Amino acid sequence: MRGYVLLVASVAALGGLLFGYDTGVISGAILFITKDFGLATRLQAFTISVVLIGCMLGALTAGGIADRIGRRSTLFAAGIVFFAGAIVSALAPNEAVLLWGRFIVGLGIGFSSVVAPLYISEVAPADTRGALVSLYQFAITIGILAAYLVDFAFASAGQWRWMLGLAVVPSLVLIGGMIVMPESPRYLFKIGQGEKARSELQRVYDDAAASAREVESIEDSLRTKSAGLEAFRQPAMRYVLFIGITLAVLQQITGINTIIYYGPQIFQMAGFASASASILAQTIVGTVNCLMTLVAIFFVDRIGRKPLLYAGLAGMFLALSTLAYAFARPHLSGSLGTIALGSMMFYVGCFAFSFGPILWLLLSEIFPLPVRALGMSLSTLANWVGNFLVSQYFLAMIALLGRPATFSIYALLCIVTILFVRALVPETKQELLEQIRVRA
Ligand code: BGC
pLDDT in tens for each of the 440 residues of the chain? 578 999 999 999 999 999 999 999 988 898 899 999 998 888 888 998 999 999 999 999 999 999 999 999 999 999 999 999 999 999 999 999 999 999 999 999 999 999 999 999 999 999 999 999 999 999 999 999 999 999 888 988 889 999 999 999 999 999 999 999 999 999 999 999 999 999 888 888 878 888 888 888 888 888 766 667 888 888 999 999 999 999 999 999 999 999 998 888 888 888 888 877 888 888 999 999 999 999 999 999 999 999 999 999 999 999 999 999 999 987 777 788 899 889 999 999 999 999 999 999 999 999 998 899 999 999 999 999 999 999 989 989 999 999 999 999 999 999 999 999 999 999 999 888 888 888 76
Helices (H), 271-402: 275-299, 305-328, 336-352, 355-366, 372-401
Whole-number pLDDT of residue 150: 93
Does 273 reside within a domain? yes
Identify which of 157, 152, 63 has the alpha carbon closest to the alpha carbon of residue 379: 63
Using CB atoms within 10 Å of the CB of residue 250, give its burial: 0 to 12 exposed, 13 to 18 middle, 19+ buried: buried
Does 92 reside within a domain? yes
Pocket of ligand 1 (CB under 6 A): 137, 140-141, 144, 251, 256-257, 260, 289, 356, 383, 387
Q: Give the Å distance between the CA of 194 and the centre of ligand 1.
A: 36
Q: Residue 427 — left, alpha, or beta (φ > 0 → left; ψ -120 to 50 → alpha)?
A: beta
Does 212 reside within a domain? no
Whole-number pLDDT of residue 44: 87
Does 28 reside within a domain? yes
Does 191 reside within a domain? no
Q: Which atom belonging to ligand 1 lies closest to the Cα atom of 359?
A: 7
Distance CA 119, CA 20 (A): 18
Residue 72: DSSP 8-state: H
Whole-number pLDDT of residue 275: 76
Contact present, 82 and 35 (Cβ < 8 Å): no
Q: Which atom belonging to ligand 1 lies closest to the Cα atom of 355?
A: 7
Give me the torsion for CA of 72, 362, 196, 9, rounded to 10°: 50
Nearest CA to ligand 1 atom 11: 356
Q: Give the Å distance between the CA of 23 and the centre of ligand 1.
A: 9
Cα distance from N-terminal residue to C-terminal residue, the chain: 34
Q: Which atom belonging to ligand 1 lies closest to the Cα atom of 383?
A: 8
Q: Give the Å distance between the CA of 128 and the centre of ligand 1.
A: 22
- Percent helix, strand and coil across the chain, each to the nearest 5: 85, 0, 15
Domain count, the chain: 1
Classified as helix, coil or strand, 382 is helix
Q: Which atom belonging to ligand 1 lies closest to the Cα atom of 289?
A: 12
Does 440 reside within a domain? no
Q: Give the Å distance between the CA of 72 and the centre of ligand 1.
A: 23
Whole-number pLDDT of residue 246: 98
Q: Show the domain range for 294.
A: 3-181+224-435
Does 217 reside within a domain? no
Angle at 278 between CA 274 and CA 284, to 5 degrees: 145
Does 260 reside within a domain? yes
Whole-number pLDDT of residue 203: 85
Q: What is the sign, positive or negative, of the torsion defined by CA atoms of 48, 49, 53, 56?
A: positive
Q: Give the Å distance between the CA of 48 and the centre of ligand 1.
A: 16
Q: What is the sign, positive or negative, of the torsion defined by CA atoms of 404, 405, 406, 412?
A: positive
CATH number of the structural domain spanning residue 106: 1.20.1250.20
Whether pTM > 0.85 for this model: the answer is: yes
Q: Give the Å distance between the CA of 381 and the centre of ligand 1.
A: 14
